Amino acid sequence: MRVLRVRRRPTDRRPAPRTKTVLICCALATLSIFALSGWMLWDAREDATRQADRAAGNIASAVEQDVARNIELFDLSLQAVIDGLQLPGIRELSAEMRHRVLFDRSASARYLAFINALDANGGVIADSQQTQYPANWSGRDYFIAHRRDASLGIYIGRPFTATQDDAAGITISRRMSHPDGTFAGVVVGGMRLAYFRELFSRLQLGPHGSIALLRIDDTNLMRLPFDRSDVGRVLDPGSPLHEFLRTNASPVVAKDAIDRVDRRFTFRRIGDLPLVVVVGLATEDIYAA
């Protein structure tokens, strides 16, 4: 009796076509999930950027309007003194009456430090504080600027310091001219920096945000977070302010020149004044979520 032996074929270890299809589909699905997740993260990041820019723009706009309005009111007090000094017989009035005529409108200004009227040589001819000591301010930046340029208009001077932070301020001044246009002196007022500090402290900037008021020559007038040593500090030539003034483009992403924190800066010029408000939202805060 013959025994039939069946020869077995070698086992084929290659996956069946159906298995291949399943593996390919799984790989594509995984890649799709990663791509979708990446797109969602990118879109969330872009949305966070848009929201931050919108919030910074709103803050800068609000500060611009508030500062412009208060400086305009302050300027009206200066112009009232200029008009008062041109009244016939003003010099013949008693000191008390002359003080009432010149400074009555500015008496209620909360952040007013002083108003002085200076003659063509820089001597004080009227003082809202009625100080008795003689003074001459011909060497101050505002006096030199107005004497040199008759068309200057309002001038924002460098900040002045004091023993107390609340008494520090900036000078705002206007030129006085004789009828023939020659230089007659300057009316200058001191505006307390406490105004800017209180205004800035009400804003929502995030844990690592900042806001600053700068002159266009890079002089820092007020900044939060506040450090007294920052008042009057001139920023480095490579500060983001230069990029804004050159291109008028905002926002600018850069390291803060003062504390080296990465921030997204939004700039806003204060009307026609040589002032810029800078809102810096930290990238760490923007993309925290």
- Amino acid 145 reads A
Kindly tell me the burial class for residue 116, based on how many C-beta atoms sit within 10 Å of its own C-beta (0-12, 13-18, 19 or more): buried
CA dist 68 and 214 (Å) reads 14
Residues of the chain with CATH 3.30.450.20: 69-194, 201-286
Tokens of 132: 């008795």
Could you read off the pLDDT of 166-176 as tens digits, one per residue?
Answer: 678 999 999 99
More confident residue, 37 or 194: 194
- CA pseudo-torsion sign 88, 94, 99, 105: negative
* DSSP 8-state code for residue 219: B
pLDDT value at residue 154: 93
**177-234: pLDDT as tens digits:** 999 999 999 999 999 999 999 999 999 899 999 999 999 888 899 999 988 888 888 8
Give the tens place of pLDDT for each residue, 72-117: 989 988 998 999 888 888 777 877 788 788 887 665 567 888 899 9
pTM to 2 decimals?
0.79
CATH topology of domain 69-194: Beta-Lactamase (3.30.450)
**Does residue 105 sit in helix, strand or coil?**
helix
Q: How many helices (H) and strands (E) does the chain have?
A: 6, 10
pLDDT in tens, 135-145: 789 999 999 99
**């301020």: which residue's tokens?**
169
Concatenated DSSP letters for 65-84? HHHHHHHHHHHHHHHHHHHH
CATH code of the domain occupying 201-286: 3.30.450.20
1-7: long-range pairs with CB below 8 Å, 24+: none
Kindly report the average pLDDT of the chain as a whole number.
Answer: 83
pLDDT bucket at 258, cuts 50 / 70 / 90: confident
Angle at the Cα of 117 from the Cα atoms of 163 and 127, rounded to 5 degrees: 55
Q: What is the pLDDT of residue 282?
A: 93
Q: Strand 124-127 vs strand 112-118: parallel, antiparallel, or unpaired?
A: antiparallel
Contact of 197 with 222, CB cutoff 8 Å? yes
Residue 6 DSSP label: P
Residue predicted with more confidence, 136 or 36:
136
